[in-house]
């Protein structure tokens, strides 16, 4: 029984489905209806705004579902809450669109979903249309589908998402109140600097090599894609080769994710607090000379998995500003400008010679410790103000480093 004092989190369990050919055809039909409803709802919103300047909300479209099902009887073969979730997905797409417009980012207006772009549908309430019964997953309007439960569910199941991938169908069951399993405390802290030559370097100079999964599979993918280009469009042979290409990409994706999971667990077992750069990877991939290598490394996915596992393990992951961490000297704080091709840090003031990534990891560690010190001082000042005591003096953390290009002291 989970104790009240235990920390809980939300977690998604992913299981492979083994539908019969008849059930697979039903799943394809449900997916087709969901995609069609998404496109129809998007067309309704777009037309209403273009012609009348009216914005249609999610609740208005949700109220129209009974009339829509009467006009299109085939929608009755899809669970009602699955259809409602399709409209909710569209509403979230518009909310993200308006948020990006207000933030001055590239808007990215919601687009119509083609046959190869819509891959999943969701039962938003576990027990109302979807429930696991032993080795079977009961889905309303579809049937009892065999499921490979390779590990037990924990917590309270909330939603069930059925998704189609290159090698078949999967069920993703999201559970809340899942108890965490903290790892033993070690008392160690580190800073890491991710890169392309090596995947990351810690401030203790532990080096993790970059596996370059996509680069290694690129030759085989090139041959398959050339074979696909020679196939006649619409032929069965083209569909078979297309499936082979998709499975190749899926294998690379899974290799990368497996590598990230293993490395993040390795770091969390060694360190209680991990500092890393707050990189804006979406901006970095605009460099067309490095975009493929950066995407192959998967820095964003690595950080997401690390932060998720840190919550699960009771550890800390802190992102620090990345500015000048590669240019400053980790010993004296001098600004030593160097291009990306220069892989060795050589300080002209203190004579420090280090690998560029190791120097950056040391700077990340120092920046993280300074951020924690500032947060501690601010918390103490707030507590003293609440208690009515005058704030204590002291130097502000971070005075060790001078601003870039400033004269030597």
Token representation of residue 377: 């001082």
Residue pair 364/277 in contact (Cβ under 8 Å)? The answer is yes
- pLDDT digits over 63-122, tens only? 999 999 999 999 999 999 999 999 999 999 999 999 999 999 889 999 999 988 999 999
Please provide the DSSP assignment of 235-267 as one string.
-HHHHHHHHHHHHHHHHHHHHHHHHHHHHHHHH
Average pLDDT score over residue span 145-155: 95
pLDDT confidence of residue 345: 92
H/E element, 308: helix 299-313
Tokens read off for 259: 């590598």
Question: How many Å apart are CA 353 and CA 118, to the nearest integer?
Answer: 52
Q: What is the pLDDT of residue 168?
A: 95
* Number of residues written out for the chain: 409
The span from the CA of 114 to the CA of 106, in Å, is: 22
Q: How far is CA 376 from CA 162, 264, 396, in A?
A: 45, 27, 11
Q: What is the pLDDT of residues 343-373, one digit of tens each?
A: 899 999 898 999 999 999 999 999 999 999 9
pLDDT at 390: 59
Query: Residues 270-303: pLDDT tens digits?
Result: 999 999 999 999 999 999 999 999 999 999 999 9
CA distance 15 to 232: 35
Q: Residue 6: its pLDDT value, please? A: 66
82, 30 contact by CB (below 8 A): yes
For the segment 179-206, what is each residue's pLDDT rounded down to a tens digit? 998 999 999 999 999 999 999 999 999 9
Reduced to 3 states (helix: H, G, I; strand: E, B; else coil), residue 213 is helix
d(CA 2, CA 215): 45
pLDDT of 341 reads: 87
Say what percent of the chain tops pLDDT 70: 93
- The residues, any chain, with a CB within 8 Å of residue 146's CB and separated by 6 or more, are 17, 18, 19, 135, 136, 137
Average pLDDT over residues 390-401: 49
Instruction: For residues 320-325, give the mean pLDDT.
Output: 93
Give the list of residues 6+ apart from residue 297 with CB closer than 8 angstroms, or none.
194, 196, 199, 210
Write down the mean pLDDT value for the chain: 91
Distance CA 276, CA 319 (A): 5
The residue with greater pLDDT, 7 or 193, is 193
Residue 408 confidence (pLDDT):
38
Cβ atoms 337, 327 nearer than 8 A: yes
State both tokens at 347. 């300080």
pTM: predicted TM-score of the whole model, two decimal places: 0.86
Q: What is the mean pLDDT of residues 301-315?
A: 95
Alpha-carbon dihedral 23, 26, 31, 36, rounded to 10 degrees: 180
Q: Of 24, 28, 64, which is closest to residue 44 (Cα–Cα)?
A: 64
Q: Distance between CA 294 and CA 292 in Å, rounded?
A: 6
* pLDDT for 225 beyond 80: yes
- Residue whose C-alpha is closest to residue 299's, from 194, 183, 145: 194
């Amino acid at each position: 029984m989970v104790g009240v004092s235990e920390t809980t989190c939300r977690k998604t369990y992913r299981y492979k489905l083994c539908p019969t050919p008849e059930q697979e055809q039903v799943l394809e039909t449900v997916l087709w209806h969901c995609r069609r409803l998404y496109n129809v709802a998007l067309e309704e919103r777009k037309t209403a705004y273009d012609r009348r300047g009216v914005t249609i909300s999610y609740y208005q479209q949700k109220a129209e579902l009974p009339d829509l099902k009467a006009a299109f009887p085939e929608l009755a073969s899809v669970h009602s809450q699955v259809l409602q979730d399709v409209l909710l997905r569209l509403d979230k797409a518009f909310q993200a669109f308006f948020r990006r417009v207000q933030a001055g980012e590239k808007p990215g207006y919601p687009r119509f979903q083609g046959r190869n772009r819509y891959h999943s549908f969701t039962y938003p309430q576990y027990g109302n249309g979807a429930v696991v019964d032993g080795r079977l997953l009961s889905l309303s309007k579809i049937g009892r589908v065999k499921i490979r439960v390779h590990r037990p569910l924990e917590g309270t199941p909330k939603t069930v998402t059925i998704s189609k991938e290159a090698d078949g169908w999967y069920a993703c069951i999201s559970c809340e109140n899942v108890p965490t399993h903290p790892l033993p405390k070690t008392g160690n802290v580190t800073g890491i600097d991710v890169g392309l030559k090596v995947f990351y370097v810690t401030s203790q100079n532990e080096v993790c090599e970059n596996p370059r999964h996509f680069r290694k599979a690129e030759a085989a993918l090139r041959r398959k894609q050339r074979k696909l280009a020679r196939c006649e469009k619409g032929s069965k042979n083209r569909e078979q080769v297309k499936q082979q290409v998709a499975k190749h990409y899926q294998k690379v994706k899974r290799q990368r994710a497996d590598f990230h999971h293993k490395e993040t667990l390795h770091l969390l077992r060694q360190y209680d607090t991990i500092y890393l750069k707050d990189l804006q990877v979406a901006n970095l991939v605009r460099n067309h000379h490095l975009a493929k290598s950066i995407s192959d490394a998967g820095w964003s996915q690595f950080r997401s998995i690390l932060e998720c596992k840190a919550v699960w393990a009771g550890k800390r992951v802190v992102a620090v500003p990345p500015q000048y961490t590669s240019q400053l000297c980790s010993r004296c704080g001098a600004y030593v400008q160097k291009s990306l091709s220069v892989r060795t840090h050589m300080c002209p003031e203190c004579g420090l010679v280090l690998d560029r990534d190791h120097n950056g990891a040391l700077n990340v560690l120092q920046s993280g410790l300074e951020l924690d010190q500032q947060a501690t001082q601010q918390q103490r000042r707030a507590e003293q103000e609440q208690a009515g005591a005058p704030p204590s003096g002291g130097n502000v953390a971070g005075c060790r480093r001078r601003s870039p290009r400033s004269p030597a002291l």
